[in-house]
Amino acid sequence: MHDIRAIRENPAALDAALSRRGAEPASAKLLELDEKRRAVIHAAETAQADQNRASKDVGAAKSKGDEAEFERLRALVAEKKAEVAEMQAEAKALDAQLTDFLMTLPNTPLADVPDGADEDDNVELHRWGTPKTFAFDPKEHFEIKGVKPGMDFETAAKLSGSRFVVLTGGVARIHRALAQFMLDHHVENNGLSETWTPVLVREDMMLGAGQLPKFGEDSYQTTNGWWLVPTAEVTLTNIVNGLTVEADTLPRRYVAHTQCFRSEAGSAGKDTSGMLRQHQFEKVEMVSITLPDQSLSEHERMTKCAESVLEALELPYRTIVLCTGDMGFGAQKTHDIEVWLSGQNTYREISSVSVCGDFQARRMNARFKPEGGGKPEFLHTLNGSGLAVGRALIAVLENGQQEDGSVELPAALHPYLRGKTRLSPDGTLS
């Protein structure tokens, strides 16, 4: 959420930033609401002062035996009390309108984020690894002979509908091994703190992370008001919701493996084949909570954490910086990491690593105490996939496929598969 005081000081800066993201100017409406709210608050405070003075005078008039003045002042107190209540209610309503409007505005991009309208304007930063050359036409993951017995979309459709999958046998074990490997890698090599969090959260937690109110249709809500998390970013970031933490406890670096749930609203007809885009999926999520002057360097660090997983799995990838028109709602800057999928003969997103500045912290009222003393300040937050487990499974299967329908598995997974190194053409591990 944006700082209304900063908008008062420089409204043109907000409008310029929104323009870079293809959004309409908002400062005029914000300042109009803010001016009305402040005027009503001032009027309420003036009326409250009048009420307080009249209340004191009531007692004096009573003690003097001036009945007429006593009745006049008592009536004035009642009148001012009603005025104050009415104006306070109006101020509260205007404050809610202002907050609701601020909640709908996206974060402002950093100066070095490239301008652009959509994904075609993203800028590649670097590549790692060389895509494998096959002596045959590589298949997509769901077409590989050894994968077919363990990846059942028909049963999933019977159970739940489209965009679900049932994994069994060797494929299910590889999927589980990937999640465990990612957690261990981040804890042991990247210094993250393993965390286990709920997948059902209260609405104010979704608001704090920026998932609401704008993107409610993208998530699932239960009949009793809980929301299913679209990512563990929601829970990990909200650990500091409402807190004022000590500066020497920062940065805090969390990692969690959870089920994630997304309605995929607006993606009808997109990536319908295979398990690339699912309503229910697993992700290993990274979240960092930092001091303001640490967040940009932490963004680079987190990007390297995600990249290191792909390197350990021997999966070629490229890293890009998203342009202003393709960034997520809460991001100041985002690095997307795209893994090479041999079956599709292209790179596909497997991680987005974003720095959010104090955008989420303002929504959560999350602050820190400066070490040298002084007024508490808002924290900075970052999040990133480390990685999407299902998409990592796809990459491992497609890049490791053999002509006979088997799949050679990365050495990093062998210890998690009891020494098994290969998915056989019949779907078993060997």
Binding annotation for ATP:
262-264, 349-352
Question: Can you list the positions of beta strands (E) in 262-316?
Answer: 280-290
**Residues tagged active-site:** 262, 277, 349, 352, 391
Measured distance CA(205)–CA(226) in Å, rounded: 10
CA-based nearest residue to 35, from 68, 11, 67, 63: 11
Q: Is the peptide bond before 213 cis (omega within 30 degrees of 0)?
A: yes
Burial (0-12, 13-18, 19+ Cβ within 10 Å), 298 = buried
How far does the chain reach from its first CA to its final CA, in angstroms? 52
Measured distance CA(288)–CA(383) in Å, rounded: 6
C-beta of residue 210 within 8 angstroms of C-beta of residue 105: no
Q: Residues marked as binding?
A: 231-233, 262-264, 285, 349-352, 385
Residue 70: in which H helix or E strand, if any? helix 67-103
Q: What is the DSSP string of 320-351?
A: EE--TTTS-TT-SEEEEEEEEETTTTEEEEEE
Go through the chain and tell me how many residues it has. Answer: 430
Handedness of CA 342, 347, 350, 351 (dihedral sign): positive
Write the DSSP symbol of residue 403.
Answer: T
Q: Residues marked as binding for L-serine?
A: 231-233, 285, 385
- For the packed helices 27-64 and 11-20, what is the interaxial angle rounded to 10 degrees? 140
Q: CA distances (Å), 123 to each of 112, 320, 351, in order? A: 11, 5, 16
Burial state string for 260-278 with b = 16 or more CB within 10 A and e = fewer than 16: bbbbeeeeeeeeeebbbbb
Contacts with 96 (C-beta within 8 Å, 6 or more apart), sequence order: none
Burial state string for 164-188 with b = 16 or more CB within 10 A and e = fewer than 16: bbbbebbbebbbbbbbebbbebbee
